[in-house]
Amino acid sequence: MQVSDSWWHKTKVGKWACMQLPNGQIAPSLLMQCAGRQLSCMPTLRDRQSHNVQFALQGRVSYGEVQYHFHIKFPDNICAFTMVSCYSPPDKEFWACSLHTVWSCTYQGQDTLTVIPIQDIHTVISMIPHIALLDKDTHNLFGRLYVCDKIGLEIQAIGGFQEADDEENMLQEEQDNNERDDRDSDGEA
């Protein structure tokens, strides 16, 4: 898409703590977890369970921790994106031993920040910490997590069920604030 240089100086970006995905799921983010806390909020392995997604990246299945969601207003449309911190590929030996069923990985932090279109997100998942084991017959699982898909998601659409939103009031308030900001910025132009 071609845009003029003057557009870049008037770019409008909205940032959200959670977003409803095209499949109806609510995708929370690290921003939501840190809302009301200090800016330097760093989750522990246990905290990392709740705001993760499976998505397509360069034609392959990937997993990442959602940092925040945002949209950009272009001259002719609005596009929604998600900033994720990608997890490592699965441990090859563990992946093979589990017959390709356990995706055991590590959190890679800010080094793997990636922007993905919201349409590329397949589902919300959990990242569960392994029990820390270390002996000569097992892998060192300290600091490792494994993917836990939402059981029954595939049949959710059959019954027409839509995931309940515990944060409904927060979402509505956030949407109202964004609309107010849009009106305020339009009045300045």
Pairing of strands 78-86, 113-117: antiparallel
Q: What is the pLDDT of residue 189?
A: 47
Q: What is the pLDDT of residue 17?
A: 86
Q: What is the pLDDT of residue 136?
A: 53
The pTM (predicted TM-score) of the whole model is 0.68
Has residue 32 got a pLDDT over 70?
Answer: yes
> Which of 20, 172, 1, 157 lies closest to 75 in space, CA to CA?
1
Topology of domain 13-152, CATH: SH3 type barrels. (2.30.30)
129 vs 65: which has the higher pLDDT: 65
CA distance 141 to 119: 33
